[in-house]
Amino acid sequence: MTEIRGMLRKMQTELAEVVSYTLLPEQGGLPVNDLLGLPMRLSFTGVIECVACKRLTKKSFNQGHCYPCFRKLASCDTCIMSPAKCHLAEGTCREPEWAALNCQVPHIVYLANTSSVKVGITRGTQVPTRWMDQGATQAKPIARVQTRYQSGLLEVLCAREVGDRTAWQKMLKGDSDPEDLEAIRKNLMECCQEGIDDLKRQHGEAAFELLEDAPETTIRYPILNWPEKVKAHNFDKQPVVEGTLMGIKGQYLILDTGVLNIRKFGGYEVDIKVNQS
């Protein structure tokens, strides 16, 4: 029997032939790939610790924050989900110093095949982690942009053609069919050429570096069996989650009883027991 207790954070990932996952690295780490096919039990103790300030909270907001941090931190603002709504230039950013380090830095605009092909953005330092966290099976950078705000503008433009959302239930039912991301990129650049030219006129030619020869990344996940129906476990309604681990994709544990979004429950203290006999 393997037992470990700790505050959940998103699983650490490592890109390999098959993505390698680690739970609770701060407690020594639990290599999740090794648990495939084994019965496991995750018990929420009732304790929630804010992932930002570490204070105890009765309710979690935005993947593990207490309410004060949710209200004051720039990382919890709506512009994180919608970068084109950045208001740093207007002087109303919650944390200008944080934004200088996290938003006023180069970002990558990319195509990813998750439940279907979508456009997304991430800091350059988060490639390929962001793709693994989303459950992408293919990903390809299409532009390098100077700031998060500017990458958001390009994302909005491209999303009119290919979308920018992942259907998480479809993503967890199986891998999408392979797509020709280079052909999609070329078609997207043609469709968006006028809009891209407008962005360059507004923000400067150097703000948007279109990438024509960036390599594509193919990602495989540790899966024994895909679920026919996707039922989500929720610690707030069901403090004990049990089942046999059938796979891991994105930040989800896929059990034969349902799926558990580890990132959603950041800061939740859990006891994890795995029967290896």
Spatial separation of the C-alpha atoms in residues 64 and 29, rounded to whole Å: 20
Spatial separation of the C-alpha atoms in residues 232 and 250, rounded to whole Å: 14
* pLDDT, average across residues 181-206: 96
The pLDDT mean for the chain works out to: 95
Domain endpoint, select from 218, 233, 252 = 218
Spatial separation of the C-alpha atoms in residues 158 and 185, rounded to whole Å: 10
Statement to judge: residues 211 and 252 lie in one domain: no
- Number of domains the chain contains: 2
Statement to judge: residues 213 and 226 lie in one domain: no
Percentage, residues of the chain above pLDDT 70: 100
Spatial separation of the C-alpha atoms in residues 231 and 239, rounded to whole Å: 15
- Over residues 135-170, the pLDDT tens digits come to 999 999 999 999 999 999 999 999 999 989 999 999
Residue 117 neighbours by CB under 8 Å, 6+ apart: 111, 162, 163, 179, 181, 184
Query: For residue 39, is pLDDT > 80?
Result: yes
Statement to judge: residues 79 and 185 lie in one domain: yes
Statement to judge: residues 149 and 193 lie in one domain: yes
State the pLDDT at residue 2.
Answer: 87
pTM of the model: 0.94
Statement to judge: residues 150 and 189 lie in one domain: yes
Which pLDDT band, with edges at 50, 70 and 90, does 217 fall under? very high
Ramachandran class of 37: left when φ > 0, alpha when ψ lies in -120 to 50, beta otherwise: left
Statement to judge: residues 30 and 143 lie in one domain: no
For residue 151, the enclosing domain spans 70-218
The residue whose two tokens read 């495989």 is 220
Spatial separation of the C-alpha atoms in residues 265 and 234, rounded to whole Å: 9
The string over 215-232, giving b where at least 16 C-beta atoms fall within 10 Å of a residue's C-beta and e elsewhere, is eebebebbbeeebeebee
Query: What is the amino acid identity at position 43?
Result: S
